[in-house]
Structure 1
Amino acid sequence: METHSISNKYLKLTTIDYGATVHQLIFKDQNGNDINVVQSYKDLDSYIHNAPYLGASVGRYAGRLNPNGFSINGQHYALYTDNQAHLHGGREGFSFKTWKLEEITQGENPHITYSYFSEDMEEGYPGALEVFCTYTLKDNQLLISYTAKSDKDTVVNLTNHNYYNLNGNGSIMDHELRLHADRILEKSLTAVPSGSFKEVKQTHYDFRATTIIKKQLEIAGIDDTYVVNQNKPLAVLYAPKTGIQMKISSNQPAVVIYTPPTLDEQLLLNQPVSEYPAICFETQNFPDAPNHAQFPSALLKSGDLYSNESVFEFSIK
């Protein structure tokens, strides 16, 4: 397992080839102190098959798919399931593979590019798929890019699974969030989308106006797919304690927001850990889109290019 680091005058990024994972992302707070704004494991071995997918690149299909699998061109494909769902690409998804370092550059706009070759029928998915993940630092922005090509028609939904805390430790309950989304996906008891939508209005999912996260998480945590109605930015997160603000933009139709109630403090660099220690912004297509014609298509035709472009812009407010 190898780490790779790039930096500019605003940000420092360290990644791992295992899972094309973000290990640390450093930005200075309002007092000039270095803050690691993502949750990180102390020991690199803790990333191996870690249940929270901490910082990892997720695929071949991020989110949950129906346990019955999916069909393409009349051909049915069965998938590995656990707890009545296929999650984040299966038993051995892209998060748990060692990616190849393609390129690392330094300088004004440094970047790290990893690649992974997924064989035809790996985890039940058709098509030999070549995937690239590129992390770029451009001024005060972290750009995360995923591209993929397949030699057969297949389904693809890639994302990054960073756990953000703009305080660097403790809780995100004091953070303020604005989210440009009026609806979430309705889901079953096993968290697989039903195909219907729910309005966020007058629910604890409502962040259409800037809201202190504690107000909503005191009702319940969030692990839901928001339908994005504005892409630039789709969300703004702010931590008054450090003065750090993060704006999120993406070319994807949805963002999965996940607020874990806790994480294993003994394993983390970011100590102390308090209730609701992080928030995830998984920019992606809709989970289970292959099984719902009314959802944006997740079909990647043979020879076409899949692209997920997301930007995380940091500033002091």
Structure 2
Amino acid sequence: MKIKEISHLKDSCIMELFGSMHDGEVVDSCELTNKNGMRLKVTNYGATITSLNIPLKNGEFVDVVLGFDTLEAYIKSFDLESAPYFGATIGRYAGRINNSIFSLNGKAFHLNKNNNNNSLHGGNIGFSQKMWRAKNVKKGKNPSITFAYFSADGEENYPGGLSVEITYMVSEDNELIIEYKAISTEDTIVNLTHHSYFNLDGHDSDILEQELIVNSQKMVETTSENVPTGRLLELENNPFDFNNPKKCPSKIDNTYVLEKENEFAASLFNKNNNLKMTVYTNQPGVHIYVGGNCFNTVKGKENANYHALSGICFETQNFPDAPNNEHFPNAVLKKGEIYYHKTIYKFQSF
């Protein structure tokens, strides 16, 4: 793999050629490394995380996210019967918009349909398939990189030109910190999230023996198509109550309500290597999803066969379909105002 020499970045950041789009546009990746050896690789195609190597107490490393070795595999994965969105940035609106329609300022907006009759994760070609511009690479302590994308007025039929920036940082405390900022030329709706599939036992494994905690008392009720009904369900005596640690379920696709400020949102623990991940966010919800199936069609990293139990997502975000439910948290971004979203994935090895 060709390496671009960027001398002033030294060892904390290495830029590499990752591939080329079908139109010839070059795609790069950046590797950020902290003092402990924690290594993050991210590409400007979809502002996508491709690997995240975490140091263990015994001196070994484990890659805790699913992904592909080549750009071509990422592109092909969006043609699968259920695109996995491995490591991608999701927008303009994460989750489903019911019937692909919402009203804003008295006007109805008809979005592109890509999930039965609904719009999912931004539509036909969301932020996960866009080319982002790398900027503001910072070396040394807490290395970071910022990606920028401009979503034109009318893209996927969303109103307003939206300028988006996402910053990935690897802290000295073994945290992956993700910050999102956006500003629009017109009133619009925004709900951004990150879509890595985590597996603390390594990306070529399953998550069924790992312990999950979700710090929530309620979840969003949904229909058979996973569209919110507008109701919130109490989790007491509910099989999806993970306030106490339980093994990861084989099937889950639920949005949990986060009402406890300054507390963690969720955690995952793998007893095989004593690695723990804790999730913190300023968002009102976290969507938990188990999956990663590539249907034996696209091979994962190191020729892995990803299946329906390969990883678990912690999509910190607003509620799906919030624009169509007035009592859900506000998803409207007013013209000139700033959208800000911060999420931390903290890793601890015991």
TM-score (norm 2): 0.86
Instruction: Kindly provide the amino acid, as one letter, of the partner of residue 207 in structure 1.
Output: F
Cα distance, 1:263 vs structure 2: 4.0
In 1: Cα distance, 2:171 partner to 2:252 partner: 31
User: Among residues 301, 306, 310, which one is paired with 1:269 in the alignment?
Assistant: 301
1:153 aligned onto 2:179: no
Contact 1:170 1:274 (8 Å CA) reproduced: no
Report the counterpart of residue 310 of structure 1 in structure 2: 343
1:30 aligned onto 2:57: yes
Report the counterpart of residue 245 of structure 1 in structure 2: 276
Report the counterpart of residue 134 of structure 1 in structure 2: 167
Q: Secondary structure at the residue paired with 2:99?
A: coil
In 2: Cα distance, 1:94 partner to 1:275 partner: 24
In 1: Cα distance, 2:62 partner to 2:331 partner: 36
User: Among residues 160, 167, 185, which one is paired with 2:201 in the alignment?
Assistant: 167
Report the counterpart of residue 6 of structure 1 in structure 2: 32
User: Among residues 261, 280, 284, which one is paired with 2:313 in the alignment?
Assistant: 280
Superposed CA RMSD in Å reads: 1.5
User: Among residues 221, 228, 252, which one is paired with 1:222 in the alignment?
Assistant: 252
Larger deviation, residues 281-290 vs 40-49: 40-49
In 2: Cα distance, 1:263 partner to 1:174 partner: 21
In 1: Cα distance, 2:274 partner to 2:161 partner: 45
Report the counterpart of residue 119 of structure 1 in structure 2: 152
User: What whole-Å deviation, never above 9, does each CA across 1:230-271 have from its counterpart, x for those lacking one?
Assistant: 353111111011111011000000001000174456511164
User: Among residues 105, 118, 125, which one is paired with 1:85 in the alignment?
Assistant: 118
Report the counterpart of residue 296 of structure 1 in structure 2: 329
User: What whole-Å deviation, never above 9, does each CA across 1:132-189 have from its counterpart, x for those lacking one?
Assistant: 0100111111100111000100000000000000001311111111111111111122
Report the counterpart of residue 93 of structure 2 in structure 1: 61
Q: Which has the higher contact order (CA 8 A, sep 6+)?
A: 1
Cα distance, 1:224 vs structure 2: 1.1
Larger deviation, residues 26-35 vs 121-130: 26-35
- The equivalences for 1:35-50 within 5 A come to 35-48=62-75, 50=78
In 1: Cα distance, 2:308 partner to 2:74 partner: 22
Cα distance, 1:5 vs structure 2: 1.0
Report the counterpart of residue 234 of structure 2 in structure 1: 199
In 1: Cα distance, 2:50 partner to 2:205 partner: 18
Contact 2:291 2:307 (8 Å CA) reproduced: no
Q: Secondary structure at the residue paired with 2:291?
A: coil
- Shift in CA distance, 196/211, structure 1 to aligned 2, threshold 3 Å: same
In 1: Cα distance, 2:292 partner to 2:120 partner: 19
Q: What percent of counterpart residues are identical?
A: 39
Cα distance, 1:33 vs structure 2: 1.2
- For structure 2, the residue ranges without an aligned partner over 5 or more in a row are 1-26
Instruction: Kindly provide the amino acid, as one letter, of the partner of residue 20 in structure 1.
Output: A
In 2: Cα distance, 1:255 partner to 1:59 partner: 15
Cα distance, 1:272 vs structure 2: 6.3
Instruction: Kindly provide the amino acid, as one letter, of the partner of residue 224 in structure 1.
Output: N
Instruction: Kindly provide the amino acid, as one letter, of the partner of residue 222 in structure 1.
Output: I
- For structure 1, the residue ranges without an aligned partner over 5 or more in a row are none
Cα distance, 1:30 vs structure 2: 3.5
User: What whole-Å deviation, never above 9, does each CA across 1:25-74 have from its counterpart, x for those lacking one?
Assistant: 11022322111010111222111163111000000000000115111110
TM-score (norm 1): 0.94
